[in-house]
Amino acid sequence: MSAYRNRRTIKPAAMDPRSVVDRDLILSLLEDAHWAPTHGLTQPWRFHVFTSPEARAELGSALVEIYDTLTPESVRDDAKRAKLVAGPERAPVVIVLLARIDPKGKIPEWEELAAVSCAAQNLMLSAHEHGLGSFWSTPPAACSPEFVQWLGLDGTHRALGLLYLGRPLAGNPPPRSKRSPLAERVRWHDPAS
């Protein structure tokens, strides 16, 4: 079976926080992402990579601060706050996925967001082929204009969440998955043959 059918989400809690992912491997994964389809060759994807424990701790702190800014105190959830810190602590690599949208460009925003989504899929499939687990997470704090601003970017950027990468913990088999029958999702418009 191909990576398309075997790849599974591996959340940071199931990643080995002590494992190190070589920078050259990260660059190879990003290069695979960079070859995603892109209308007009705009290549809208942008990646901000956090690998050191210090950088990941700073990221977690910023996410909690943004969560607190965006969430009224009366409905703040301590478990959500803890997850915003725990993910970057556990995963050895955190990549922020962003789309750069040209406000005067001819390509609609939805197509640019779709291109970045294709880049994320390429990255996760490549990570799987290299024995890494991946998890694409989209908490509101990590998809907010405030987070884009924290990254030092302008309003032409859209944050599409966090992609966590790491080696799965030993003895932790990937979760099993199944799909509903494909026939339920396909409608043929050709005459029957």
pTM: predicted TM-score of the whole model, two decimal places: 0.91
Strand pairing class (157-166; 133-137): antiparallel
Residue 184 has what pLDDT? 86
pLDDT attached to residue 7: 66
- What is the CB-side half-sphere exposure of residue 70 using CA atoms within 13 A? 18
pLDDT band at 139 (very low <50, low <70, confident <90, very high): very high
- Only one residue has tokens 């996925």, namely 97
Whole-angstrom Cα distance, residue 130 to residue 138? 24
Domain range annotation of the chain: 3-167
What distance in Å separates the CA atoms of residue 166 and residue 19, rounded to the nearest whole number? 7
> pLDDT tens, 39-48?
999 999 999 9
- Inter-residue contact 166 to 92 (CB < 8 Å): yes
126 or 175, higher pLDDT: 126
In angstroms, the CA 20 to CA 132 distance is 11
| Residue 59: burial class (beta carbons within 10 Å; 0-12, 13-18, 19+) | buried
**Choice between 174 and 24, residue whose per-residue pLDDT is larger:** 24
- pLDDT per residue as tens digits for the range 45-104: 999 999 999 999 999 999 999 999 999 999 999 999 999 999 999 999 999 999 999 999
For the chain, percent of residues with pLDDT exceeding 90? 74
CATH 3.40.109.10 fits 3-167, yes or no: yes
Residue 117 neighbours by CB under 8 Å, 6+ apart: 160
